[in-house]
Amino acid sequence: MVDAVIVGSTGLDDIETPFGKVQSALGGAAIYASYAASFFCKPGIVSIAGKDFPKEHITLLKKRAIDTTGLTIAGKTFRWGGLYEYDMNEAKTLKTELNAMKEFNPAVPPSYRDTDYLFLANIDPALQLRALEQMRHPKFIVMDTMNFWIEHREEILRSVIKKVHALVINDGEARQLFKTTNLVTAASKALSLGPKFVIIKKGEHGALLFSDGIHFSAGGYPLENIKDPTGCGDSFGGGFIGYLAKTNDLSEQNVRKAIVYGSVIASFNAEDFSLKRLQSITGADIEARFKDFRAMREF
Ligand code: AMP
């Protein structure tokens, strides 16, 4: 049994930021999200990695008790290349090699199918849908996406949005998908498709929550040391669903707290390349930063 099922990409990333570069670094939405969720609950991943995927990465996931029964190994690993300039809120995609993800047919292991919490992290929305349909009666489904899928699969992406409880999307993508410059308009268009919650991530500036008649804004954490924002969206989503799965409380108050926990994990993630920083944090570090977030909002 797992507490949260996480569907998404597993990848090897080439990243360049003003603070350095890495090649073939561990990445992918399912990896960042499951690692983030593992601070709160037991996640299980549904993803695909190639035969070239280094074994040490799988050992790393197992060390955090992430269930990898749903990780298929076939073909060549998905590869992504991204460049960040001084505005680190936006990645320029230099390459997307789908490789094994092109033929991937996600099979949700029978031991995952009764799980209440499902995170459809960034992957082809057709695959998100196929995974969702194999779950028996998920109580809370969260989804993320990115510009690549908005450009290539908008219609099916909209049909997945209609089936989820929460849409997590970044500001630029919300504007692109809902064809508006205004985030409030984008959020209300997203809500009209069906999700109860829409969370718009604003990079280092935090995240906004919209629901029927409700608005909440979680600030960003004032980090002096940002090295690589890759995976911040995914670790936000993983922290968010991980906290909800741990507490099993879907009240608005708890959803707000989950957003802050997601922001805490994402802020740590930006402090180093790949999953390096997340590998060094403890539960005490998370709680200390959660308190800082709370103190920053008091006036
Ligand atoms: P984020 O910075 O949270 O938006 O996500 C970065 C991660 O998304 C990287 O580790 C990439 O491997 C992965 N990624 C990039 N492009 C795609 C794509 N088209 N589909 C799925 N995952 C992707």
Going by the DSSP 8-state scheme, the letter that residue 102 receives in this structure is: G
**121 C-alpha to ligand 1 centroid (Å):** 9
Q: ∠ CA 34-243-28 to the nearest 5 degrees?
A: 20
Predicted confidence (pLDDT) at residue 203 exceeds the cutoff of 90: no
pLDDT digits (tens, 9 = 90+) for 249-273: 999 999 999 999 999 999 999 999 9
Record the pTM: 0.96
pLDDT digits (tens, 9 = 90+) for 209-238: 999 988 999 988 888 889 999 999 999 999
User: Which residue type occupies 291?
Assistant: K
pLDDT digits (tens, 9 = 90+) for 97-143: 999 999 899 999 999 999 999 999 999 999 999 999 999 999 999 99
Q: What is the pLDDT of residue 224?
A: 86
**Cross-sheet strand order for the sheet of 214-218:** 67-73, 43-49, 4-7, 117-120, 140-143, 166-170, 197-201, 207-211, 214-218
Q: What is the pLDDT of residue 267?
A: 96
Task: Give the pLDDT band of residue 87 (cuts 50, 70, 90).
Answer: confident
Mean pLDDT in residue range 46-53:
98
The residue among 63, 2, 39 whose CA lies nearest residue 261 is 39
Percentage of the chain exceeding pLDDT 90: 92
- Ligand 1 atom nearest residue 236's Cα: 3
Task: Please say whether the beta carbons of 52 and 76 come within 8 A.
Answer: yes
- Candidate from 14, 17, 84, 146 with most ligand 1 atoms within 8 A of CB, to mutate: 146
Task: Give the pLDDT band of residue 88 (cuts 50, 70, 90).
Answer: confident
d(CA 47, CA 9): 6
Q: Atom 11 in ligand 1: which residue has the minimum CA distance?
A: 28
- Candidate from 230, 263, 274 with most ligand 1 atoms within 8 A of CB, to mutate: 230
**10 C-alpha to ligand 1 centroid (Å):** 9
Mean pLDDT in residue range 84-92:
89
Tokens matching residue 281 = 């944090």
**28 C-alpha to ligand 1 centroid (Å):** 5
Q: What is the pLDDT of residue 257?
A: 97
Q: What is the pLDDT of residue 213?
A: 87
Predicted confidence (pLDDT) at residue 283 exceeds the cutoff of 90: yes
